[in-house]
A and B are shown apart, each in its own frame.
Chain A
């Protein structure tokens, strides 16, 4: 072994290298590592938060859906009820109307019958009078037989 000034040169070089490494190499790399660590932690936290939010949203969606279904059911029920009500009302009205029409028709029919009867009665009287005249071969004095005719008409 042969010691010389290389020893001192190496020591100085060593110190300079360590200084450089401490000043310019180590800190930026460590800073980048720390920063990435922070970012990853942040990302994980955000993911957790997102998952939680998603769960909440899902729960809310389920609730809303449930409510909507309930509401829809109610509306349908109400609509059905109202529908049957309307039908009942319409039916009642129709029955009433039908009755009224029937009654009116019956009244009119009666009137017509009466009128016809009256007309018929008149015609019968005139036919009877004519018939009787023919039979008797002379003109009957209507006024003379008025009593008789009235009695006849009433009998028809």
Chain B
């Protein structure tokens, strides 16, 4: 249990689901939030320090490790790490070749960044829920959420960036007119000009929803899965305070859930990557 010593289960759960947020308090000074009230008064211009820290840290770890392999990459006999990196690169390259029909040098590196980064962020879920927050508590940090992908800011940050790329490539490949046409001239079509004009708002509504659904579903799927997984880990962790028998049962459950979770974190990272490729492929194609 952390240094702020939550007393009830409810407090314990709430504590584990609160980010370490830095922002401007109502009285004007900057500092960490200490409760829901603080969060409300900080508004949008505050930042989840823990999410950003772990997210950037894991991203840097990924890029550093892969850069190391890339710098010493040789066409001769590859070393162990280079072998692994090459395996990942070929896997990503295959996925991109399979789903993306055009030629775009951005797609494959983008897909790899998403896959490895999201995987690493999800992987933090497998670290026992109390370890790092307790350590942070000992160092005087009140809240710490170590799984960045359980923070909707992180997942939406990813998906909205992907969405921006979708919009960019839609306009770039089809032109502004082509993109607007795609949004308004389908799926209902008519040869009668007036009827077609009437169909336009309906089409726009339908296609607009489809378009908006892409980033929202992309981020909510990842967030939902990770948040739920984290929640189950927290609930299992609660059992440890319920006596030896319940604690042992909890340990068994945690082991089982962690093993199952390995599948989920990989799968979610893969889904995020694949859908990104597919969305960008749809955006890059001239015909719907």
Q: Which of A23-40 contact B (CB under 8 A)?
A: 24-33, 35-36, 38-39
Q: Which of A1-40 contact B (CB under 8 A)?
A: 1-11, 13-15, 17-18, 20-22, 24-33, 35-36, 38-39
The docked-state distance in angstroms from the alpha carbon of A36 to that of B42 is 55
B70 touches A13 (CB 8 A): no
Q: Which of B70, B74, B90 lies at the interface centre, i.e. has the most chain A CB atoms within 10 A of its CB?
A: B70
* Shortest distance between the CB of A63 and any CB in chain B (Å): 41
Q: Which of B105-113, B132-140, B239-247, B255-263 contacts A (4 or more CB under 8 A)?
A: B105-113
The docked-state distance in angstroms from the alpha carbon of A32 to that of B79 is 13
A25 touches B109 (CB 8 A): yes
The docked-state distance in angstroms from the alpha carbon of A39 to that of B74 is 12
Q: Which of B63-99 contact A (CB under 8 A)?
A: 63, 66-67, 69-71, 73-76, 78, 82, 85-86, 89-90, 93
Q: Which residues of A contact B156 (CB under 8 A)?
A: 3, 7, 10
The docked-state distance in angstroms from the alpha carbon of A43 to that of B105 is 29
A3 touches B86 (CB 8 A): no
Determine if B268 is an interface residue (Cβ-Cβ < 8 Å). Answer: no
Q: Which residues of B contact A4 (CB under 8 A)?
A: 21, 23, 42-48, 153
The docked-state distance in angstroms from the alpha carbon of A10 to that of B52 is 7
Task: Tell me the dominant secondary structure on chain A's binding face.
Answer: helix
A6 touches B48 (CB 8 A): yes
Determine if B117 is an interface residue (Cβ-Cβ < 8 Å). Answer: yes
Q: Which residues of B contact A21 (CB under 8 A)?
A: 63, 66, 109-110, 112-113
**How many A-B contacts if CB must be within 8 Å?**
124
Q: Which residues of B contact A14 (CB under 8 A)?
A: 113, 157-158, 161
* Shortest distance between the CB of A42 and any CB in chain B (Å): 11
Residue in A7, A8, A13, A32 whose CB lies within 8 Å of B73: A32
Determine if B186 is an interface residue (Cβ-Cβ < 8 Å). Answer: no
Q: Which of B149-195 contact A (CB under 8 A)?
A: 151-154, 156-158, 160-161
Determine if B56 is an interface residue (Cβ-Cβ < 8 Å). Answer: yes
Q: Which residues of B contact A20 (CB under 8 A)?
A: 63, 67
A32 touches B75 (CB 8 A): yes
Residue in A8, A18, A35 whose CB lies within 8 Å of B75: A35
B47 touches A9 (CB 8 A): yes
B45 touches A29 (CB 8 A): no
A7 touches B63 (CB 8 A): no
Tally of A interface residues using CB under 8 Å: 33
* Shortest distance between the CB of A23 and any CB in chain B (Å): 8
B71 touches A9 (CB 8 A): no
Q: Which residues of B contact A6 (CB under 8 A)?
A: 47-48, 51-52, 151, 153-154, 157
The docked-state distance in angstroms from the alpha carbon of A9 to that of B151 is 13
For residue A27, which residue of chain B has the nearest CB?
A: B70
For residue A24, which residue of chain B has the nearest CB?
A: B67
A30 touches B89 (CB 8 A): yes
| Proximity string of chain A (72-84) to chain B, C-beta cutoff 8 Å, 1 when within and 0 when not | 0000000000000
Q: Which residues of B contact A22 (CB under 8 A)?
A: 105-106, 109-110
Q: Which residues of A contact B48 (CB under 8 A)?
A: 4, 6
Q: Which residues of A contact B152 (CB under 8 A)?
A: 1-3
The docked-state distance in angstroms from the alpha carbon of A35 to that of B82 is 15
B59 touches A13 (CB 8 A): yes
Determine if B126 is an interface residue (Cβ-Cβ < 8 Å). Answer: no
Beyond the given pairs A1-B152, A17-B59, A32-B78, 16 more chain A to chain B contacts, judged by CB atoms under 8 angstroms and listed by A's residue number, are A4-B21, A4-B23, A4-B44, A4-B45, A5-B44, A5-B45, A7-B157, A9-B47, A10-B51, A14-B161, A22-B106, A22-B109, A26-B89, A26-B108, A29-B86, A32-B82
Residues of A within 8 A of B (CB): 1-11, 13-15, 17-18, 20-22, 24-33, 35-36, 38-39
A-B contact pairs, 9 of them (CB 8 A): A1-B152, A4-B47, A9-B47, A10-B156, A24-B67, A26-B109, A29-B73, A29-B86, A31-B73
